[in-house]
Amino acid sequence: MDGTAPSGEGWFGGIDRDDEAAATAAIHDGTADAPDDWPSRAVESGFAADENDYYEILHDATMAATRAAVQEHGRSDVQQLQRVVRAMDDCERVANELAERVAEWAATLFGDAGTGVDYCLGLAERDPDPEQRRVVELARRVRDLDDEATALRRSIERTAPEVAPNLAALAGPVLAARLVSLAGGLETLARKPSGTVQVLGAEEALFAHLRGHAPSPKHGVIYTHEAVRNTHPEDRGSAARALAGKLAIAARADHYTGERRPELDEQLRERVATIRARRDDADEGAEGGADR
Amino acid sequence: MSDGLPDGVERRPFDGRERLATRGSPVYGEPTDGDWRAWDASRSKLGAMLSRGLDTGLTGGEPVLYLGAAAGTTVSHVADFAGPTYAVEFAPRPTRDLLDAAAPRSNLFPLLKDAREPASYAHVVEPVDAIVQDVATRGQAEVALRNRRFLADDGRLLLAVKARSEDVVADPGDVFERVLEDLRSGYEVLATERLTPTHEDHLAVVATPRTE
């Protein structure tokens, strides 16, 4: 009973009903131009005893294929993101450390020695004397690490919006990746209360506070976010709390629905604007008082 | 069917309030009463359509293709009253929950596929009497048009158009007009209704394939 229908074969064509791996592959990779009455055709071809039998096999096969596809995606996406963000941090950290070494060394060999990675980028382009050769080579390693950090950042900017669209939109791709990485995955991040999200990356300060030595930290890695950094120091706690609240919602939306919710962006903007407006009002009030 | 509800969907009292309900194992912490479980119309656009009395053409027991199944909240109710139910979802994360909803339902077939690429699941999905579409992507009319091949000539497309997915800043009314215009190239629109206040900025559309 070879299929003569224009749409070609169903997913069950040419596979053994007990071969789960083959069924998974067929559902995952197969195609057809148009649907067909697959249940009848499966019975006609002898693949299934009757329609009920066919639906039973189909249920098992779609469950197995979809479970495998989901696991594959989850593993690869989030783990890759975690690795990439850690590698980027390593490249930047090592580049900075080496740049310090280079600057210290170059100061003894070059009259115009500067500091930092930018100085190394310039130094790496030079044609050195034999005695300057090693330090210039070291500067070239700094340049290579800097290039690699940039490439890794690009990769995060591409993948973070796929893994966590809302979080990436609100936090920016790199901060989103850091939060996922610190939490140990998107699911664990989605389960954290916003107060925890607020201090992720400030564990040392948090435990010092819990032991009673220190004030509670106002923010962890979310400090790098514009909403916190560009807010007046006295209002940063409020800004960090507002930001963490929205980020927690974004992480939950990403984990549980995967649906982009553009209204979150606007809500965050409004909250931050309100917090900053308080400061402007206070300043104006103070000036007004001085005038009188 | 006197109230326009498909067989297998009933209005039943939960905590003194009449709510839609289907028979099946619970999925998202909804209240239950024996075999029956409440269908939360504020979390389900199809639930809102039925609860408002929109004529969906659903009778119960028919094959259904569900596009944008997400975590399976709504499609689990569909599988409770419909026949073979094919649930297409593109995002891996919500699909994990969809798998949990599908596990005890032998007529619910989860597929991690892109609804914009029907050829990638036409080798699995049979022709259906109803397509339920709730995808959060730009080009929702285009998705409906591409999936028309699955729908019987007298079948029904039950579409929830999300204005914000098409255009965040445009007026939802304008967005709906544009989507309906595109849709009419392949469908005859039978009814439309705004789903406010439970589903802000969503338009429910009932349509049937145009046959020339």
Does A242 score more than 90 pLDDT? yes
Which pLDDT score is estimated for A1? Answer: 37
Q: What is the pLDDT of residues B30-53, one digit of tens each?
A: 999 999 999 999 999 999 999 999
- Could you give the CA distance from residue B80 to residue B104 in angstroms, rounded to a whole number? 11
For B40-209, CATH gives: 3.40.50.150
Contact B130, B65 (CB under 8 A): yes
Give the range with max mean pLDDT: A204-208, B2-6, B111-115, B170-174. Answer: B111-115
For chain B, domain boundaries: 40-209
* E strand or H helix at B160: strand B151-162
Which pLDDT score is estimated for A259? Answer: 79
- Could you give the CA distance from residue B22 to residue B35 in angstroms, rounded to a whole number? 8
- Could you give the CA distance from residue A78 to residue B115 in angstroms, rounded to a whole number? 24
Q: What is the pLDDT of residues A20-52, one digit of tens each?
A: 899 999 999 999 999 999 999 999 999 999 999
Q: Which range of residues forms the domain containing residue A221? A: 164-292
**Shortest distance, CA A150 to any CA of chain B (angstroms):** 28
Which pLDDT score is estimated for A75? Answer: 64
B70 has a chain A CB within 8 A of its CB = yes
B41 or A3, which is more confident: B41
Contact B76, B108 (CB under 8 A): yes
Residue A110 belongs to some domain of the structure: no
Phi (first) and psi of residue A205, to 5 degrees = -65, -35
Percent of chain B with pLDDT over 90: 85
Does A279 score more than 80 pLDDT? no
Which pLDDT score is estimated for A149? Answer: 96
Termini Cα distance of chain A: 98
| Nearest Cα residue to B94 out of A66, A265, A188, A181 | A66
Residue A286 belongs to some domain of the structure: yes
- CB–CB contact A11 B123 (8 Å): yes
Which pLDDT score is estimated for A138? Answer: 95
- CB–CB contact B103 A63 (8 Å): yes
For B83-109, what is the mean pLDDT?
Answer: 94
Single pTM value for the model: 0.65
Residue A47 belongs to some domain of the structure: no
- Could you give the CA distance from residue A140 to residue A147 in angstroms, rounded to a whole number? 10
Task: Give the C-alpha distances (Å, rounded to integers) separating A63 from A40, A55, A138, B31, B104.
Answer: 21, 12, 54, 26, 11
For residue A122, the one-letter residue type is G
Does A291 score more than 50 pLDDT? no
Q: Which single residue is written with the structure tokens 């036409």?
A: B122
Contacts of A191 in chain B (CB under 8 A): none
- Does the bond joining B197 to the residue before it have cis omega, within 30 degrees of 0? yes
Q: What is the CATH number of the domain that holds A290?
A: 1.10.246.90
- Enumerate residues 6+ apart whose C-beta is below 8 A from A173: A156, A157, A159, A160, A161
Task: Give the C-alpha distances (Å, rounded to integers) separating B61 from A26, A248, B4, B127, B152.
Answer: 27, 41, 15, 14, 15
Contacts of B120 in chain A (CB under 8 A): 31
For B70-91, what is the mean pLDDT?
Answer: 96
Residue A224 belongs to some domain of the structure: yes
For residue B192, the one-letter residue type is T
Residue A170 belongs to some domain of the structure: yes
Quickly state the pLDDT bin for A204 (edges 50, 70, 90).
confident
For residue A78, the one-letter residue type is V
Contacts of B94 in chain A (CB under 8 A): 256-259
- Could you give the CA distance from residue B131 to residue B125 in angstroms, rounded to a whole number? 12
Q: Is B199 helix (H, G, I), strand (E, B) or coil?
A: coil
- Please give the tally of structural domains in chain A: 1
Residue A202 belongs to some domain of the structure: yes
Nearest to A33 among B98, B111, B122 (CB): B122
Residue A219 belongs to some domain of the structure: yes
Quickly state the pLDDT bin for A288 (edges 50, 70, 90).
very low
B138 has a chain A CB within 8 A of its CB = no
Contacts of A48 in chain B (CB under 8 A): none
Which pLDDT score is estimated for A110? Answer: 86
Q: What is the pLDDT of residues A57-107, one digit of tens each?
A: 999 999 999 999 987 776 677 888 888 999 999 999 999 999 999 999 999
